[in-house]
Amino acid sequence: MNDKHVLFIEDGDITEQVDKLRKLLQKNGITLIEKILDLSDGKFRVNNPSNPDETVLNITEIKNILRDDFINERFDYVLCDFDFADKNLDGFQLIKWLKNVSIGEKKRLRHAKFSLYSSEPEKFLKKHVSVEDLSDLIKLKLSDFYSRTSIGVDFGSYVLNSNEEINLKAKLITELSKYGDMKFRSVYPKFNGMALGEIVTEIENDTHHSRFFQEHLIELTVAHLIDLNNEDK
């Protein structure tokens, strides 16, 4: 089964669109496993200190939840709404922070592909027009900026297309994770006795040994292929 883990960060209702996406992927043999961080939840709102009749996003709480519940999880994609109708935080700023923290602290979420969506993409241009913003945007390496009205179709297509690309590392992680508790007794001495799940962590953290291990695995695989080839003869 081909699972795709997607984190949606949204402050409204995208139930039907997520469903639509699910159906689309399902038809192509991909199972959508989504988590939605709903920012319209009251716990993410606080009173505006300068105006008691107004509430604003509790940025600290949002970041805490992201750190505690999401940053160490494996997601293939992160999709974030751009407009939260809050002058202190928008989707671009949030995923910029999220990605920087993930990469800086070498968390699993750093492997995900990040995208933004909005019903009014031109709002992004109005707000983020400086050279600095442009530079941040490039560094962020966003996969795409979708129109909200066609997430199902556009993002679905993207997932399908990227599914056709081979990502050996991601594939290795996925396969090894299935046997996370199994102890490794193989010829790579450094990992001898480690659980496969632990080796997966090494790979995700891009350690020196994990790189050598991956190379070693490829060599072993090719060697095994050659053996098999010779056996056939």
Partner 1 sequence: MSQQLNFKTNVLLKSIIGKDLINDDNIAILELVKNSFDAGSPNVNVIFNNIKSNDDHLNRTYGKSSSKIIIQDFGKGMNDKDIENKWLNIAYSEKKNKKEENNRILAGNKGVGRFSCDRLGQFLDIYTKTKTDKSYFHLKINWNDFETEKRKDLDEKQKEELEIQKIKVTLFEINEEEFEETSGFKPFKEGVILEISKLRSQWATKEQKKNQEFWNVDKLLKLRNYLEKLINPNQAFQKSAFAIYLFAKEFLKDNKDVNGEIKNKIFNKLEFTATSIDSTIDAKGEKIFTSITDKGRIIFMLEEKNVQFKLLKDVRVFLYYLNTYSKIYFSKQTGIRSVDFGSVFLFINGFMIPPYGETDNDWLGLEIRKGQGNRRFISTRELVGRIEIKDSENNFKIVSSREGVVNDDPFIQLTEAGDNKKNKKDGFFYYTFKRLEKYVVDGLKWDKVTGDEDLEEDESLSQKRAQIIKEFESKTKTKSAKEAQKFETYYETEIEKKRRVFSLIQNIISVKKENIIDLYINEDLIVELVKEEEQEASKNIQKLLKEIDTLEYSSIESELEKIEVNRKSLNNVFKEVQSISDNSKNEKTLAAIKDTKALHDNFEKSYSSFIQSVKKLAIEKKIAEEKAQKEQEEKEQREADLEAERQKNTYLLATRRTLSEDADGLIHTIKINNTEIRDGIDNLIDDVVSKNYTEKNLIKRLGNIKVNAERSLKLAEIATRSDFKSDIEKRDIDIVKYFEQYLEIYKKTFSRTEFSFEFETNNSKLIKRISVLNLSIVIDNIISNAARWKAKKIKIIFKNKTSKSLSIVISDDGLGLSKRMLAVGDKIFDLGVGDTPPNGVGGSGIGLYFTRDLLKKMNATIIFLGNNKILSGATFEINFNNA
Closer residue to partner 1, CB minimum distance, 31 or 149: 149
Going by C-alpha positions, the residue among 218, 232, 123 that lies closest to residue 172 is 218
Nearer to partner 1, 11 or 76 (CB): 11
Least gap, CB of 156 to partner 1 (angstroms)? 12
Q: Which of residues 16 and 132 has its CB atom nearest to partner 1 in the complex?
A: 16
* Min dist. Cβ of residue 211 to partner 1 (A): 43
User: 85 — alpha (psi -120 to 50), left (phi > 0) or beta?
Assistant: left
> Which of residues 52 and 189 has its CB atom nearest to partner 1 in the complex?
52
Contacts 24+ apart (CB under 8 A), 11-20: 11/38, 11/39, 11/40, 11/81, 11/84, 11/85, 12/40, 12/81, 14/148, 14/151, 17/148, 17/151, 17/152, 18/152, 20/152, 20/153, 20/156
CA angle 152, 155, 160 (to 5 degrees): 110
Q: With respect to partner 1, which residue has the nearer C-beta, 7 or 39?
A: 39
Nearest approach in angstroms of CB 146 to partner 1 is: 12
Q: How near is the Cβ of 73 to partner 1 at its closest, in Å?
A: 24
Q: What are phi and psi of 131, to 5 degrees?
A: -65, -35
List residues near partner 1 by CB under 8 A.
11-17, 19-20, 23, 40-43, 45, 47, 52-55, 83-85, 119-120, 122, 148-149, 152
Smallest distance from the beta carbon of 123 to partner 1, in angstroms?
9
